[in-house]
Structure 1
Amino acid sequence: MIDTEALRTQPELDGENVVLAQLDDSYFAAAWEAVRDPEVIRLTGTHTKFTEEQIHRFLASRPGLEDRADYAILRKEDRAYLGDVVLSDIDEHNRSGGFRIALTGPDVFGKGYGTEATKLLLDYAFDVVGLHRVSLEVFAHNPRARRVYEKCGFVREGIQRQALWWDGEWHDVITMAVLKTDPRP
């Protein structure tokens, strides 16, 4: 059974170097910069050009949802915003959900923040919310993210050939998932 109350109230998740806190409009300035960073846009395959109003509205609507958990990734030492991590597309009948993460840009890549945030969210998904399966999609042109996901227990399940058109070429989308029963480092 899925604990929708855990999703609605979203407890803060505390790690060694990061804290996951409820995503809301108080993180607007850093989130606004992130959605305009060219490398973040490329790695997430985002074609949409967001407006400030859209980002404000999105962030303000995150608290209190019962069908997903949107977390801000904060550096533990100073609570600086590093990105967001999301558990979404909750399917109560099949105890499954989707996963997404986006860091703010190259200045925070490669420092272990994404790995730690992913592990914290998976522990929450399996041990608190009660999910059995968490899946994701990652673009083939993002090998750093694939390595992080594998390090956190995700297993490659398939490929969607030429599913993203970016900068004049087609890119594959790799599907991955982790089960509650899979080993997680």
Structure 2
Amino acid sequence: MISNGLNVKELLELNGEKVFLKKLGKEYGDDYWKAISEGDIESTIFTGTQQVFNKENIENYLQNISLDSSRVDFIIFSKITKKVVGEVVLNDIYRNNRSSNIRIVIFNKQDFNKGYGTEALVLALQYGFGMLNLHRIELEALSFNERAIKVYEKVGFDKEGVKREGWYFNHRYHDLVIMSILEDGYRSKYIGNKYDLKAFL
């Protein structure tokens, strides 16, 4: 907590060269809904989400995550357009184990291959290992999503194994690739790099 009683994460902005992240809250509800509703369904499906969202779902979702201490949700803004291009979420945060899951989605294909996802991941890892003092951050990627797996490997995630037929969609089962990054691996790769984390008071 800071002196005026506000929670630091409510004021946090994670600042990169191409994107900046803001904690997702009701004040960004309209921007978030617009980005999701105009995005490609395929992008959301690749995160493992099978729910179809509407405006009411989003409002309830934002209310629920604001009360959930086991997650931190960020929306990704393009620095050029100042528009929401995606989200990155640290969830299933276990303080005792110092571990969490991470997931990311870029909503629209027109924003692929611009470096937004890579930079947003690094910024979220910086928050996880720095501000949350985590030791391990893991994810699961659909085995056929080779583009995403290459990005995760580039960022520093290692493959650990495969959850066989762990995801069911459209009458088929698909394997999930389990990947993780540990704090030592993150620190050796990124400490002293160009990414900057700032709290605006």
Pair in the same fold by TM > 0.5: yes
**What secondary structure sits across from 2:189 in the alignment?**
coil
- 8 Å CA contact 2:40–2:109 kept in 1: the answer is no
> Partner of 1:77 in structure 2?
80
| Counterpart position of 1:68 | 71
Match of residue 22 from structure 2: 21
The letter for the 1-side match of 2:91 is S
Indicate conservation of the 8 Å contact 1:39/1:105, yes or no: no
Equivalent residue number for residue 176 of structure 1 = 179
Q: Does 1:165 align with 2:187?
A: no
Using the size of structure 1 for normalisation, the TM-score is: 0.87
Letter in 2 for 1:31: Y
* Structure 1 unpaired stretches of 5+: none
Contact 2:44 2:105 in 1 (8 A): no
Runs of 4+ in 1 over 4 A off after TM superposition: none
- TM-score (structure 2 length as normaliser): 0.80
The number of residues matched between the two structures is 180
Identity %: 37
**Aligned equivalent of 2:106, options 100, 103, 108:** 103
Verify the 8 A CA contact 1:27 1:81 in the aligned structure 2: no
- 1:37 alignment partner, one of 6, 29, 40: 40
In 2, Cα distance between the equivalents of 1:127 and 1:45?
A: 27
Shift of 1:80: 0.7
Amino acid at match of 2:189: R
Render the CA deviation track for 1:51-79: whole Å, top value 9, x for unaligned.
32111121244447533211010011232
Compute the displacement of 1:131 (Å): 0.5
Distance (Å, rounded) in 1 between the aligned partners of 2:104 and 2:173: 22
Cα separation, 2, equivalents of 1:184 and 1:153: 8
The answer to whether the 8 Å contact 1:156/1:175 transfers is yes
